[in-house]
Amino acid sequence: MAQSIFETVDDLYEKMVKTRRYLHQYPELSFQETETAKYIADTYESLGIPYEKNIGGNGVIATIEGGKPGRTVALRADFDALPIQEQNEHLPFHSKNEGVMHACGHDGHTAELLGLAEAVWQHKEDLPGTLVLLHQHAEEFTPGGAKPIIDSGALNHVEAVFGTHLWTNTDYGTIEVSKGAFMAGADAFEITIKGKGGHGAQPHQTKDAIVIASDVVASLQQIVSRRIDPLRTAVVTVGTIEAGTAFNVIADSAKLTGTVRTFETDVQNTIREEMERIVKGIAEAAGAEYEFTYNKGYPPVINHEKEASLILEEAGEADPSLITKEVEPSMAGEDFAYYLEEKPGAFYFTGAKIPDHAYPHHHPKFDFDERAMLHGAKTLLQAYFSYQRQPR
């Protein structure tokens, strides 16, 4: 009996691990991933799989045409890293690039898609339709890599797109998805308070930027609690405060940066308007000046119901041990949202928690259960086959 494509994926697990660990040692920041892109392209070259590079920047897209008629479906993996100094010195494959780390699992995403591609290539005559293997750069940093890839026209012929994220908040062996809003829109803001500095012993002669900024931080927290319908979800977070030069000097300026997370445009607009109203009012009341910048980031990830249902109902066909769950949305952001604005599809989480090393994404000790790469590869492949069975 001929080996199934899923069994071939299993056989390639050790190769996936080797790929992931190599990429983990040599991470590259968003829009700077030239060597990673070359590694991906060289892998396809060695396998004989047709590919194109420099798509929308550093993107790489490979294409496998099956031997049977069918639909054209894209599977996506991202491959950029973060500006974090890794603290996993116990790992023999920890980052060799100072101050840069794969702290979100993108090395695993790349490894699982390359493994999936090799398995499919070995079974291409039995493949229905066309598989598009989308390796995307710059997910971590806006404006991201998804939009320029779309704008390049490289996906115009694609009928659907699926993606998954190795997720260490979720137990190994569990697949999570929602039939609608799945991840939040992620915006960023910057507020600068311009006061009047002076001696710490003579506050009456100053306009203390730190005190003013503190009032702003406290008041911003009232937007979600008092200006947004409690049945609608939103987050306003101040992530940094930069002010002051010495213990006995009153700061003349203070800069705040943070993020806003929403699922709906009208909520997003209300928060932006309320933020500026608060900042303006507090600054003027204190006799200070201000600057307010609000940058809209990635839109929310809104899964298409039919495609998300395929994940929920059929992912287990790839591996009977998997548990699939429909879950509430996450407030994290992802530029996979842009693909779903253009094409039917779904994005989902593949559980990858290491119970005794459960550090969150973007943490300097982040790591994931490498066995989850098999689940990611198999469920993506199953999504491809499931979509082939859908009526046009």
Closest CA to 364 of 82, 159, 78: 82
Longest dimension (CA), the chain: 87
369 part of the active site: no
Following CA atoms 180, 184, 185, 189 in sequence, which dihedral angle do they give, to the nearest 10 degrees?
170
Tokens encoding 235: 């987050």
Closest CA to 102 of 30, 194, 195: 30
Following CA atoms 347, 62, 16, 319 in sequence, which dihedral angle do they give, to the nearest 10 degrees?
50
Tokens encoding 55: 């798509």
Known binding-site positions for Mn(2+): 104, 106, 140, 165, 362
80 part of the active site: yes
Closest CA to 374 of 106, 132, 172, 134: 172
Closest CA to 102 of 168, 13, 10: 168
CA 34/CA 38 separation, integer angstroms: 6
Of the listed 139, 159, 176, 215, which one is catalytic? 139
Of the listed 28, 33, 78, 80, which one is catalytic? 80
91 burial class (0-12, 13-18, 19+ CB within 10 angstroms)? middle
Tokens encoding 167: 């997720």
Known binding-site positions: 104, 106, 140, 165, 362
CA 210/CA 212 separation, integer angstroms: 5
The residues annotated as belonging to the active site are 80, 139
